[in-house]
Structure 1
């Protein structure tokens, strides 16, 4: 699948994955569309390529008056940046996001400022988000259910990546939309890469979130980056090890260098992810992850 195209998710009826072309990296931004009686878009990308997503919905026969739900898994703008733009195009759709994220999408100024500070020059790949009117958005909490017409989507809080992060489970389809709760899946090596952005990443909660996904024991995991994969417990266990080893690596390098800027520089230069996506994005990812790990360590010093 090429950027801005879509395809059916194997083994899940009426579910499609759309590649947003995020960061000029094929597969990096995965948006999911349920073509059910009450159609839903799960995650929205940065908003920079929203026209291509609208084309996908048009191709599926989802009219502007038909879309029922816009469902960002969390408020980070690589997942929710297009929510306001879609709400403008689809006047009958309701936006649902974790209750902690609602205010950020109603008034995105603080979220934009924080994102710019976090992603730096990568902001060029984002669109300025459109505020969502309060009457068009509702909060989500653990255990809430979204009616898709012929099946239900169940909400589970997953605050390790961020306090406003959720995963969605559709029991009838045995599919879980993990967003960033289980890391970034890289198909070319069939492994999970860590995502630990500042300022609210929490390792302990992240490990609990991965256990939550494992306990749901789905057939299919729909990652927020690089698309769906069949579930197996070994993948989750390897992801948990990767997260623990990552935090320990940052802890050790901080003790060695005693300068956080030097620590960030080290992991930018050492990033292996340049083999999986473009060098610019690889360095940005390493910088974000290192700064998030350092912030977590600061909050967990004895």
Structure 2
């Protein structure tokens, strides 16, 4: 797929995946549109390319009064940055997000400041978020259900990536919308890569979140980055190994270099070997993910009293 395009998800009736063209990269950021009795948009992208998403909804046949739900998986702006824009355009849609994310979407100033600090020059690919009106948004907790009329989504809190993070399960089609709980799926090479952004990544919790998906044992998984895939048990094992090995690689490099900026630079340089994204995207991912692990290692050390 290419930026702005959408297609039906094979094997799951009424479900579509839209390529947001996030960060100027094809097949990196996904929005899912479920054309159920009460239609829903799952995740929203950064908001920067929202007009193409509006066109996708039009082509699917969901008009401005027809969208029922806007459902970010968490408050990070690559998943929730378009929520306020969508709420403006679709006046009957209710916004739902895990409870700890509500305040960030109602008043996004702190979230914007934190995102700018984390993503640095990549902010050029974002759009300033529009606040979601308080009377249009509510929080979600583990076990909550979103009524789509002819089906429902079940909420599973998954705070390893961030405290305001969840994945969603639709049991009729047996599809899990993994958000970032299962890492980044790269369809070009059929590989899962870890996503470990600062400041709240937690390895142990990430592994528990992966086990929660493994226990559901769905038919399909829909990654926020990027796209749908038939589920195989080996996929979760691959993701667990990727996370553990990545954290250990950063730990070892920190011990060898004794300079965190040098650690980040090392992994940025290593990103040149990545062939499936453009060099800018690969370098940005390496920067963000290595700094996230370094922050996690600091927290583990502090909590252990070392």
Where on the TM-score scale, by shorter chain, does this alignment land: which range?
over 0.9
Bigger Cα displacement from structure 2, 265-274 vs 96-105: 265-274
Deviations 1:102-123 (A, max 9, x none): 0000000000000001000100
Deviations 1:173-230 (A, max 9, x none): 1000001000000111111011000000000000000000011111100000120011
Alpha-carbon offset, residue 273 of structure 1: 6.3
Determine the C-alpha separation between the residues in 2 that align with 1:80 and 1:109.
14
Determine the C-alpha separation between the residues in 2 that align with 1:247 and 1:236.
17
Task: Show the counterpart of 2:271.
Answer: 271
Map 1:101-250; keep pairs closer than 5 Å.
Answer: 101-250=101-250
In structure 2, list runs of 5 or more residues that go unmatched. none
* SS at structure 2 position matched to 1:78: helix
Deviations 1:230-265 (A, max 9, x none): 101111101101100111111111011111111111
Task: Show the counterpart of 1:52.
Answer: 52
Give the TM-score taking structure 1 as reference length. 0.99
Alpha-carbon offset, residue 60 of structure 1: 1.0
Give the TM-score taking structure 2 as reference length. 0.98
In structure 1, list runs of 5 or more residues that go unmatched. none
Alpha-carbon offset, residue 16 of structure 1: 0.3
Task: Show the counterpart of 2:14.
Answer: 14
Deviations 1:131-153 (A, max 9, x none): 00100000000000000010010
Query: Is the Cα contact below 8 Å between 2:146 and 2:154 reproduced in 1?
Result: yes
Task: Show the counterpart of 1:34.
Answer: 34
Determine the C-alpha separation between the residues in 2 that align with 1:254 and 1:53.
41
Alpha-carbon offset, residue 24 of structure 1: 1.2
* SS at structure 1 position matched to 2:38: coil
Alpha-carbon offset, residue 274 of structure 1: 3.1
Query: Is the Cα contact below 8 Å between 2:272 and 2:283 reproduced in 1?
Result: no
Determine the C-alpha separation between the residues in 2 that align with 1:206 and 1:32.
23
CA 1:210–1:62 in structure 2 vs 1: closer, same or farther (change >3 Å)? same
* SS at structure 1 position matched to 2:91: coil
Determine the C-alpha separation between the residues in 1 that align with 2:230 and 2:10.
9
Determine the C-alpha separation between the residues in 2 that align with 1:93 and 1:226.
25
Hey, which bits of structure 1, 4+ residues long, moved more than 6 A?
Answer: none
Determine the C-alpha separation between the residues in 2 that align with 1:276 and 1:23.
14
Determine the C-alpha separation between the residues in 1 that align with 2:129 and 2:271.
30
Count of aligned positions = 302
Task: Show the counterpart of 2:257.
Answer: 257
Alpha-carbon offset, residue 3 of structure 1: 1.1
Alpha-carbon offset, residue 81 of structure 1: 0.3
Name the Cα RMSD after superposition: 0.8
Task: Show the counterpart of 1:283.
Answer: 283
